[in-house]
C-alpha cells in the first residue's frame, strides 16, 4: 500500500534541488570568509551576479568591509560577526552557522578566480535569458501603441547584453550552439490572410506599385500560396510582362501553385478584388513578419540560455546569428516606412494608383481562397 504523508510531514521530494551555481557561490563566499584578502582576485562580478539574496548580501558585506589582519583573523571570529551583522541589514535569516558551513564547503581558496568566472558566466546567461524573454513579450503585446518601435528598442537592449557578454567572453573558433530552434508559430491568423489577399489583389490592379515594394519578399507572407503569388507578381513585373488576374493565374499554373485546394476561378475572384493602396497592405504584411521574427528570435535565444550545455562563447555566436535575421527584416522595414523622397528612384515610371493611405475606414471586401 503506498505511503500517504501526514499533513505536517515534510515532503522533501517536492523541494527542487539548488541550481549548480549555488554550490559555486557557496565555495566563493566560503573562500572569502576564510581568506578575505583573496577578494582582490575576484573580478567581473558584483552582488547582482549572485543567484540568491542571501549570497548577494554576503558579497556586498565582504566587498564593503576592510579585510582583517590575516593573523588576527585566524585566531578569532570577530570579523565574521561584523560581516554577518552587515549582511543581515539587507537579508534576514542569515546565521553564524551558515557562515561556518560556507567556510567548510570551500577547501580550495586558491580557486577563487575560477569560482568568480563561473558565477560571471551564469549571471550573463540569466541576463541574456531575461532580455530575450522581454523581447518575446513585447513583440507579442498587441496593446502597445508603438508596437514595432518598442519591439525594436527591446531588440537593441538584447543586442547590448550580447555585446557585453562578448566583451567579457570573447567568442573564438568553435562549434555553434547545439540547441534546436523552437518551432515557429503555426496558428492561422485570419487578419494576416485577409491582408495578404488584399495586397495581392491591389498589386495586381496597380502593377506599377510592385516595383516600389522591393522591400517585401515572399518570406514575409504567412501562407505559402500567397508567397508564391507574390513571386509571380514580382517575376511578371521584372519581365515587363502584362499583369492582370489572368496572367497571374497562368504564371501560378506554370509554377505549380494550382491544385485541388486552389481552383482557378477562386484565385481569379481574389485577384480581381483590390482595395486601398498596395503599399499600405505591404507594410502590414512586413510589420507582421517583423514582429513574428522578433518573437521567434527571443524564444530561440532564450532556448540557448536555458541549455546548460551552451557555453558563454556559444551564447554570443548563436545570439548574434539569430539577431542578424531580425536586422535584415529591420532594414527592409526602415526602407518601407521611409519618406518617399528618401527611397530609391524606380527604374520605371510609377503607374497611376490611389494615394497611399492608412487603414481603410470600411471593411474591405474579401473572398477567401479555399485552403
Q: Is residue 39 part of a domain?
A: yes
Q: Is residue 71 part of a domain?
A: yes
**Residues 83 and 144 reside in one and the same domain:** no
User: What CATH number has the domain bearing residue 52?
Assistant: 1.10.860
Which of 56, 77, 107 is the endpoint of a domain? 107
**Residues 33 and 67 reside in one and the same domain:** yes
**Residues 170 and 305 reside in one and the same domain:** yes
**What range does the domain containing 32 cover?**
15-107
In the chain, alpha helices (H): 20-34, 53-64, 70-73, 78-88, 96-105, 112-139, 147-168, 190-205, 224-238, 245-254, 264-271, 278-306, 312-337
Exposed e or buried b per residue across 58-82, where buried means at least 16 C-beta atoms within 10 angstroms of its C-beta: bbbbbeebeebeeeebeeeeebbee
pLDDT for the residue 107: 87
User: DSSP label at 315?
Assistant: H
pLDDT for the residue 1: 45
How many Å separate Cα 180 from the centre of its chain?
A: 15
**Residues 85 and 144 reside in one and the same domain:** no
- Total domains in the chain come to 2
> Which residues, listed in sequence order, are joined to residue 262 by a DSSP beta bridge?
259
Q: What angle do CA 158, 162, 164 make, to 5 degrees?
A: 115
Q: Is residue 244 part of a domain?
A: no
**Residues 19 and 64 reside in one and the same domain:** yes
**Residues 19 and 146 reside in one and the same domain:** no
**Residues 79 and 159 reside in one and the same domain:** no
In 223-277, alpha helices (H): 224-238, 245-254, 264-271
How many Å separate Cα 210 from the centre of its chain?
A: 32
**Residues 33 and 68 reside in one and the same domain:** yes
Note the pTM of the prediction, 2 decimals: 0.81
Q: Is residue 235 part of a domain?
A: no
**Residues 175 and 304 reside in one and the same domain:** yes
**Residues 68 and 93 reside in one and the same domain:** yes
**Residues 103 and 131 reside in one and the same domain:** no
Q: Which residue has the cell 566587498?
A: 63
Q: Is residue 265 part of a domain?
A: no
Per-residue pLDDT of the chain in tens (371 residues, 90 and over written 9): 445 555 554 554 555 677 889 999 999 999 999 999 999 999 999 999 999 999 999 999 999 999 898 888 888 889 999 999 999 999 888 999 999 999 998 889 999 999 999 999 999 999 999 999 999 999 999 999 999 999 999 999 999 999 999 999 987 766 667 676 677 766 668 899 999 999 999 999 999 999 999 999 999 999 999 999 999 999 999 999 999 999 999 999 999 988 888 889 888 988 988 999 999 999 999 999 999 999 999 999 999 999 998 999 999 999 999 999 999 999 999 999 987 655 544 433 333 344 444 444 444 445 555 44
**Residues 22 and 169 reside in one and the same domain:** no
Grid cell of 58 as nine digits: 554576503
Q: Is residue 142 part of a domain?
A: yes
Taking the CA of residue 312 as centre, how many other CA atoms within 13 Å lie in the half-sphere pointing to its CB?
21
Q: Is residue 368 part of a domain?
A: no
pLDDT for the residue 353: 41
Q: Is residue 156 part of a domain?
A: yes
Amino acid at each position: 500500500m503506498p505511503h500517504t504523508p501526514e499533513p505536517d510531514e515534510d515532503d522533501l521530494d517536492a523541494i527542487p534541488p539548488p541550481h549548480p551555481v549555488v554550490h559555486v557561490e557557496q565555495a566563493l563566499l566560503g573562500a572569502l570568509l576564510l581568506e578575505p584578502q583573496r577578494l582582490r582576485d575576484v573580478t567581473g562580478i558584483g552582488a547582482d551576479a549572485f543567484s540568491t539574496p542571501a549570497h548577494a548580501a554576503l558579497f556586498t558585506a565582504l566587498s564593503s568591509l576592510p579585510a582583517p589582519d590575516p593573523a588576527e583573523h585566524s585566531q578569532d571570529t570577530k570579523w565574521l560577526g561584523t560581516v554577518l551583522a552587515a549582511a543581515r541589514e539587507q537579508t534576514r535569516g542569515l546565521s553564524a552557522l551558515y557562515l561556518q558551513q560556507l567556510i567548510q564547503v570551500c577547501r580550495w581558496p586558491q580557486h577563487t578566480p575560477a569560482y568568480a568566472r563561473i558565477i560571471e558566466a551564469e549571471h550573463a546567461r540569466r541576463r541574456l535569458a531575461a532580455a530575450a524573454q522581454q523581447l518575446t513579450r513585447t513583440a507579442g503585446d498587441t496593446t502597445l501603441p508603438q508596437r514595432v518601435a518598442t519591439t525594436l528598442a527591446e531588440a537593441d537592449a538584447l543586442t547590448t547584453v550580447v555585446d557585453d557578454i562578448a566583451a567579457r567572453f570573447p567568442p573564438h573558433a568553435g562549434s555553434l550552439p547545439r540547441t534546436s530552434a523552437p518551432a515557429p508559430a503555426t496558428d492561422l491568423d485570419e487578419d494576416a490572410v485577409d491582408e495578404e489577399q488584399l495586397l495581392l489583389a491591389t498589386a495586381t490592379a496597380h502593377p506599377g506599385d510592385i516595383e516600389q515594394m522591393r522591400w517585401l519578399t515572399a518570406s514575409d507572407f504567412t501562407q505559402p500560396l500567397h508567397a508564391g503569388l507574390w513571386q509571380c507578381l514580382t517575376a511578371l513585373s521584372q519581365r515587363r510582362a502584362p499583369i492582370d488576374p489572368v496572367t497571374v493565374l497562368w504564371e501560378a499554373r506554370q509554377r505549380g501553385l494550382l491544385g485541388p485546394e486552389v481552383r482557378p476561378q477562386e484565385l481569379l475572384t481574389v485577384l480581381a478584388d483590390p482595395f486601398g493602396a498596395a503599399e499600405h497592405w505591404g507594410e502590414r504584411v512586413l510589420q507582421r513578419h517583423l514582429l513574428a521574427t522578433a518573437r521567434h528570435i527571443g524564444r530561440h535565444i532564450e532556448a540557448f540560455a536555458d541549455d546548460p550545455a551552451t557555453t558563454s562563447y556559444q551564447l554570443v555566436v548563436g545570439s548574434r546569428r539569430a539577431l542578424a535575421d531580425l536586422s535584415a527584416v529591420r532594414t527592409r522595414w526602415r526602407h518601407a516606412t521611409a519618406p518617399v523622397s528618401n527611397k530609391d528612384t524606380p527604374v520605371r515610371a510609377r503607374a497611376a494608383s490611389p494615394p497611399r493611405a492608412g487603414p481603410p475606414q470600411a471593411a474591405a471586401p474579401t473572398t477567401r481562397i479555399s485552403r
